[in-house]
Structures are given as structure tokens and as C-alpha cells.
């Protein structure tokens, strides 16, 4: 005959089993009571779907200024010249990379005076460290700049890079899934070694070029030139440099 202790143990075991059973029923109703989910076999035949997207995505784009290696010439700050090299510029690290016998060598921007690469129609594109140009409050430009117009009234493009973050929303299955590296171009007007951003307003742009303001305004109006279009801006700068050379 089982004593009181054995009966008590038996009741405890039964209570524990009921607690586990009730907990399971509660979780089951909470999970499936609102209709089928991805884990419901009727909506997920073969259980091929998973609740979370575990895929990884590569970063798109590149920190390099050029899509491919370019043939170019390098002039160092020391006066040394290196000709006909395969080069590319890394905007992330501010370094010129040079391919030498299947190996990549690097030259920090601080050691470069300028470098050139072949452009369209066998022309050349000139690049120079931004530190040679001064913004307001005596702050030098950072990174590398392409010299589009080298006259006293000149035009530069400063290159830098940034990462555009992914916009993908899993719940909506919308947006871009990869981060993307983008090359940023910013144009600057140069006045000798001083530079400034290109004003949006025509009046502010013209005011930068006194004492040629009245002539410049008439010239732009006559030829219907927009200073915010690069090709038309180059025409304007050519006109201004011609006036400057006759002062």
C-alpha cells in the first residue's frame, strides 16, 4: 500500500504535466490563433520558408576614381617624374596606386605635386592635391582635385567618396539591399590659389568677378550662358581670363 509520501509525489507529477500541457496550448494559440504564418505548414509546404532573411550582400561600387587602371605620368613634390605608369587613385585613403610588375605600390597624396592621365581625343586630364588651394578662413582643400580650367579664373573638381547605406525593409521587401560606395564631385571656382563654391544665384556669381561685372553680365545675356552648366561655365571663364590678361 502506497504511503502518504508516494501519493503526494504522484500528485506533484500530475500537476507539473498539466502545467506543461497548458503552457504548450497557450503558446500554440498565441502563435497560430491569428491565422497561418510562414511557419504554418499549410502556407509553407515542405517548410522551405524561414522567418528571417539570413543572406548577406556585398558592398557595391568602388573607392577608386577611375573604373580601370589608367596610363599616366606622376610628378612628385621632390621634383622627380615617373612616366607612363598604370595608375588609379584611392579616394578613401588619399593615395595614388601604381601597378608595377603585377604589384600595387602606393604614393601618399602628401608626396604628389600632380599627376596626369590620358583623356578624350588624346588630351590629358590634370590632377593636383587640394592642399594647394585655400578656402575661406585659410582652410586648404582636402583630397585630390582635377584642374578643368587652369587660368587665373579657374575651375576645379574635388573628388571624395561616401557610402550610401542600404534602404531595404524586410517587412515590405522593398529598397536596395546593398550599401553602395559613391564618388562625389564638387566644383569650385579658383582665383589664383583661392577657391570658393559655385553660387547658385547668377547675381552672386557675377559679383565674384569685379571689375568685369557689367561686361560679364552682358556677355552671359547675349550668349544665353548658364554658369551652373560646366561647358557653358568654361566659356564664361575663357572670356574672363581674356579680360584678365589685358588688365
- If phi > 0 it is left, if psi is from -120 to 50 it is alpha, else beta; for residue 121 that is left
pTM given for the model: 0.71
Average pLDDT over residues 218-237: 96
Q: How many CA atoms lie within 13 A of 39 on its CB side?
A: 7
What distance in Å separates the CA atoms of residue 142 and residue 239, rounded to the nearest whole number?
29
In this prediction, residue 166 has a pLDDT band, given cuts at 50, 70 and 90, of confident
Q: Are 236 and 215 spatial neighbours (Cβ–Cβ below 8 Å)? A: no
pLDDT at 54 over 80: no
**Structural contact between residues 164 and 152, judged by C-beta atoms closer than 8 angstroms:** no
Question: 174 pLDDT band (50/70/90 cuts)?
Answer: confident
Dist. CA 38–CA 40, nearest whole Å: 6
CB 107, CB 95: distance < 8 Å: yes
Residue-level pLDDT at 159: 94
% of residues, the chain, pLDDT over 90: 55
Q: Which residues, including other chains, have CB under 8 Å from residue 214's CB and lie 6 or more apart?
A: none
3-state secondary structure of 232: helix
Residue 132 scores a pLDDT above 60? yes
Contact 237, 216 (CB under 8 A): no
Least confident of 113-122, 178-187, 234-243: 113-122
Helix (H, G, I), strand (E, B) or coil at 130: helix
Q: Calculate mean pLDDT across residues 33-37.
A: 46
Q: Is the pLDDT of residue 232 over 50?
A: yes
Give pLDDT, residue 154: 96
pLDDT at 15: 57
By the 8 A CB rule, do 52 and 38 touch?
no
Report whether pLDDT(120) > 80. Answer: no
Task: Please name which of 201, 236, 232 lies closest in space to residue 218, comparing C-alpha atoms.
Answer: 236
Cα dihedral 148→150→154→156 (10° resolution): 40
Task: Reply yes or no on whether the pLDDT at 41 is more than 70.
Answer: no
Per-domain residue ranges of the chain: 57-197, 199-247
**Per-residue pLDDT tens for 193-226?**
999 999 999 999 999 999 999 999 999 999 999 9
Residue 95: its H or E element: strand 95-100
56, pLDDT greater than 60: no
Amino acid at each position: 500500500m502506497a504511503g502518504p509520501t508516494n501519493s503526494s509525489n504522484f500528485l506533484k507529477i500530475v500537476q507539473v504535466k498539466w502545467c506543461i500541457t497548458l503552457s504548450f496550448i497557450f503558446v500554440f494559440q498565441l502563435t497560430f490563433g491569428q491565422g497561418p504564418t510562414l511557419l504554418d505548414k499549410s502556407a509553407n509546404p515542405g517548410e522551405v520558408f524561414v522567418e528571417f532573411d539570413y543572406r548577406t550582400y556585398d558592398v557595391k561600387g568602388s573607392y577608386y576614381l577611375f573604373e580601370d587602371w589608367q596610363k599616366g605620368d606622376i610628378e612628385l613634390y621632390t621634383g622627380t617624374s615617373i612616366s607612363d605608369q598604370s595608375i588609379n587613385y584611392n579616394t578613401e585613403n588619399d593615395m595614388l596606386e601604381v601597378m608595377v610588375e603585377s604589384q600595387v605600390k602606393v604614393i601618399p597624396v602628401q608626396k604628389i605635386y600632380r599627376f596626369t592621365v590620358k583623356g578624350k581625343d588624346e588630351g590629358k586630364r590634370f590632377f593636383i592635391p587640394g592642399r594647394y588651394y585655400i578656402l575661406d578662413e585659410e582652410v586648404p582643400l582636402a583630397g585630390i582635385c582635377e584642374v578643368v580650367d587652369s587660368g587665373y579664373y579657374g575651375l576645379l573638381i574635388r573628388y571624395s567618396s561616401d557610402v550610401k547605406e542600404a534602404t531595404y525593409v524586410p517587412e515590405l521587401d522593398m529598397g536596395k539591399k546593398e550599401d553602395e560606395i559613391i564618388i562625389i564631385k564638387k566644383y569650385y571656382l579658383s582665383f589664383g590659389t583661392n577657391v570658393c563654391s559655385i553660387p547658385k544665384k547668377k547675381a552672386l556669381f557675377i559679383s565674384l568677378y569685379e571689375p568685369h561685372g557689367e561686361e560679364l553680365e552682358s556677355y552671359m545675356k547675349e550668349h544665353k550662358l548658364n554658369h551652373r552648366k560646366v561647358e557653358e561655365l568654361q566659356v564664361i571663364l575663357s572670356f574672363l581670363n581674356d579680360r584678365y590678361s589685358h588688365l
